[in-house]
């Protein structure tokens, strides 16, 4: 129906940070709070979708009528996404996935010793690119967190990761992006672009979902 365009559709959204273990008590992570991804989940639900959040560690509670799979690392997140991806109509990668993990996490707590120490890192799998490379893939939407040349870098990610759409945010601006209640987005697809000015993440999420729905039906 008109007010529930996603009725009968499934939407999977990654949200929050990942944690990459250094040893049993330490990790590498980032400042993602999960607010943007969880807001998108609610917006998709309101449009009638059956929604799953694949969530890194965040302080948010799961919104009602939404399924949530908790994960820690990027590798865990990829595994959780892949178990159910073939049933999804839309995939939105909103998580701030760590690009690198510790090459060899220590099973024991690392002792303090020398004045300097180095950690060897290795590339994590790219979850979004893995999804977009599937032969039967959902409508695939990425995010781009940039600090300069926002639109150019985002267009590059759209092409390189073969996405249907990308939502770029300038994370160098105060009170936007990571861990804030508001955000602004440049939404970009092949042949179009739509700027969403700074506003509350929940309202912004509804506007982004509307753009996604409109673009899906044009495909």
**Binding site as annotated, residues for CTP:** 93-95, 99, 109, 125-128, 143, 157, 161
Residue 215 contacts ligand PMT per CB under 6 A? no
Per-residue contact track with ligand PMT, 65 to 84, x per CB under 6 A? ---------x----------
From the list 142, 158, 186, 216, which residue makes contact with ligand PMT (rule: CB under 6 A)? 142
Active site residues: 30
Q: Is 95 helix (H, G, I), strand (E, B) or coil?
A: coil
* Nearest CA-CA partner of 32 in 219, 201, 154: 201
When binding is defined by CB under 6 A, the residue of 22, 60, 119, 145 that contacts ligand PMT is: 145
> Which residue, among 38, 43, 49, has the nearest Cα to 15 in the 3D structure?
38
Strand partners, 165: 141
| 124 contributes a contact to ligand PMT by CB under 6 A | yes
Distance from CA of residue 132 to its chain's centroid? 14
Closest CA to 92 of 52, 124, 123, 62: 52
How many angstroms separate the CA atoms of 152 and 168, rounded? 10
Name which of 137, 28, 21 is nearest 90 in CA terms: 137
Rg (CA), the chain: 18
Piece in contact with ligand PMT (CB under 6 A), picked from 35-43, 65-73, 111-119, 188-196? 35-43
- Work out whether 179 is an interface residue with ligand PMT (CB under 6 A): yes
| Among 6, 12, 20, 34, interactor with ligand PMT by CB under 6 A | 34
Distance of closest approach, residue 27 Cβ to ligand PMT, in angstroms: 16
Chain residues binding ligand PMT by CB under 6 A are 14, 16, 32-37, 74, 93-97, 99, 124, 126-128, 142-145, 157, 169, 171, 177-179
């Amino acid at each position: 129906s008109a007010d529930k365009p996603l009725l009968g559709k499934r939407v999977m959204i990654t949200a929050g940070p990942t944690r990459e273990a250094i040893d049993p008590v330490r990790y590498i992570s980032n400042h993602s709070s999960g607010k943007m991804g969880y807001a998108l989940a609610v917006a998709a639900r309101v449009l009638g979708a059956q929604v799953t959040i694949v969530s890194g560690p965040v302080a948010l509670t799961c919104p009602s009528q939404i399924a949530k799979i908790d994960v820690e690392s990027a590798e865990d997140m990829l595994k959780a996404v892949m178990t159910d991806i073939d049933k999804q109509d839309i995939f939105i990668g909103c998580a701030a996935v760590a690009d690198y993990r510790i090459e060899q996490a220590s099973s024991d707590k690392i002792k303090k010793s020398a004045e300097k120490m180095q950690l060897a890192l290795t590339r994590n799998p790219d979850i979004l690119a893995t999804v977009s490379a599937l032969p039967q893939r959902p409508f695939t939407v990425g995010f781009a967190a940039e600090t300069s040349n926002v639109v150019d870098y985002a267009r590059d990610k759209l092409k390189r990761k073969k996405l249907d759409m990308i939502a770029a945010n300038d994370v160098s601006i105060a009170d936007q992006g990571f861990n804030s209640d508001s955000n602004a987005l440049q939404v970009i697809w092949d042949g179009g672009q739509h700027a969403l000015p700074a506003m509350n993440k929940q309202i912004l999420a509804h506007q982004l979902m509307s753009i996604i729905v409109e673009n899906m039906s044009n495909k």
